[in-house]
Amino acid sequence: MGGSRTYPYGSTSVVRAHVLAALGVLKLATADQMHRLMAPGHKDNKAFRNAALDLARHGLVVSEGCARDGNKLWNLTPLGLDAAAEVLDRPVGEMGGTARGAARSGAPHAMAVNETVIAITRTPATATRPVPRQQPVPTPTVPEQAPAPGLVLEAPGMGWVGSWSTEVPLNLPTSRGNRAGVRADAVLQAPEAGLPVLFVEVDNCTESADVLAAKFEKYLRYFRLKSKNPLGSESPVWRTQYPSTGREGHPPVVVVFNPGIRTGPQALKNRMNTVMELTRLVWSGSYHGAGGGYGAEERDGYYGYADAIPLLFTTLDRLQTSGPRDAVWWRCGHGQWETLPDALANPDDHDAWYARDEQRRRQRDEESERQHQEWAAERERWAQEPDPALDPEPVPPCERCKGPITGPLGYDLEFAPPEDGRHCPACRTDLRQQHPTLRQAVFGRRPRSK
């Protein structure tokens, strides 16, 4: 399609806006990357190449080199930065720099950041031109068939180009003002996808694991910064720029490993394990032994993540193959690949312990109620049964003959002496018939004391 005198390469205003928006976020990109990020429904990236050439004639973009794959790299000029801010509806002060001179080295890290943004966003492909209407041809109705083998449907992504910021400085206060404690490779704000804020670090596996792990200590220092609001209460500094995550702890940080052909699978695994061990104090929570609740026999507790960073690992090829909504995230401390909501959850925090304690309390209440019901049923059963006959108290034997004190069966008690509680009738009769002693004759018989 022929161009005009103003835009000789025949670009449209829509594609030119796409180029400005893409470069306003990515800072440095090829036409192919801008095509895949902004409008993958286009047949190829020719429209973006033409738009970049037209914008270069107006001094909005410039190309100062090529990527390592030979594609021309484009970045904004200061005038183009103002135009991109207008397209993205952002203040110019939040647009960052123009990446001037970065293209001369091929910018391998910036290319990996761009591929990460594209892989997570996964802009859906839409039609770019109207389809000519044709007369309907009657065809016999056939049942719907499954997709052909090998047909891969595009997985949904998260956010859009306006959800991203790259090369974001996170400033730390010093005696001389503010300095960038750490510079985030990219920041995603996609609340519609459950991500109020996500900090992204892209690792090309060219620096040592110690250098990579040291970045997260700077992240932790930044997240710990407090500032006082007009009411006098303290709040985190990062909350002045980003919304709350809605979860306990600091905002999540994800490391996207891009080993390429330099690092094999085992070396990549060793690198991940090394970084995870070096950053254990950053992502691991503090254990609180809360016990199992009143009357519980088992010990139980929870981890507090108020001062911990949810640190996630993934790889660029996993994101490009499966998309960000699949189980491609490895949360340090979880020990398995998970979806992003599961990776950001804390299954062993205070809320989980409280739920377990509530379950134990309900079980104790149910057991107590069951025992009360059993006791009530037992009392009801006892109330309905007749009282058992009481056993008579045992009668002591006769002191003289050791026989029953009531006497043998059939003994005639009519002529027996009165009962004394000590002797049977026969013994009482014998004792009465005995001759009295001299003392008894003089003083009379005295009854023995019991």
Model confidence pLDDT, tens digit, residues 146-193:
444 433 446 789 999 999 999 999 987 654 555 657 899 999 999 998
Question: Bridge partners of 330?
Answer: 313, 337
- pLDDT tens-place string over residues 356-389: 777 778 888 888 888 888 888 888 888 887 766 6
Question: Bridge partners of 338?
Answer: 329
Judge whether 178 and 213 are in contact, CB under 8 Å.
no
Please give the pLDDT value at position 79.
95
Judge whether 330 and 276 are in contact, CB under 8 Å.
no
Reply yes or no on whether the pLDDT at 448 is more than 50: yes
Higher-scoring residue by pLDDT: 116, 246: 116
Dihedral sign of CA atoms 413, 417, 421, 427 in order: negative
- The 8 Å CB, 24+ separation contacts for 141-150 are none
- pLDDT tens-place string over residues 241-253: 999 998 888 999 9
3-state secondary structure of 411: coil
| Of the listed ranges 52-66, 130-144, 211-225, 426-440, the one predicted with least confidence | 130-144
Higher-scoring residue by pLDDT: 227, 48: 48
241-242-246-250 Cα dihedral, nearest 10 degrees:
-80
Residue written as token pair 């720099």: 97
Please enumerate in sequence order all residues whose Cβ is within 8 A of that of 329, keeping only pairs 6 or more positions apart, or say none.
Answer: 254, 312, 313, 314, 337, 338, 339, 340, 343
Judge whether 288 and 304 are in contact, CB under 8 Å.
yes
Please report, for residues 283, 392, 405, the alpha-carbon distance to residue 350 in angstroms, rounded to integers and kept in the order given. 16, 65, 78
- pLDDT tens-place string over residues 128-143: 554 444 444 444 444 4
HSE, CB side, 13 Å, CA atoms: give it for residue 203: 24
Which backbone phi and psi does 337 adopt, to 5 degrees?
-75, 135
Higher-scoring residue by pLDDT: 335, 285: 335
Please enumerate in sequence order all residues whose Cβ is within 8 A of that of 365, keeping only pairs 6 or more positions apart, or say none.
Answer: none
102-114 b/e (C-beta count within 10 Å ≥ 16 → b): bbeebbebbbbbb
Higher-scoring residue by pLDDT: 351, 362: 362
Reply yes or no on whether the pLDDT at 218 is more than 60: yes
Higher-scoring residue by pLDDT: 219, 424: 219
> Which residue, 114, 196, 117, is CA-closest to 157?
117
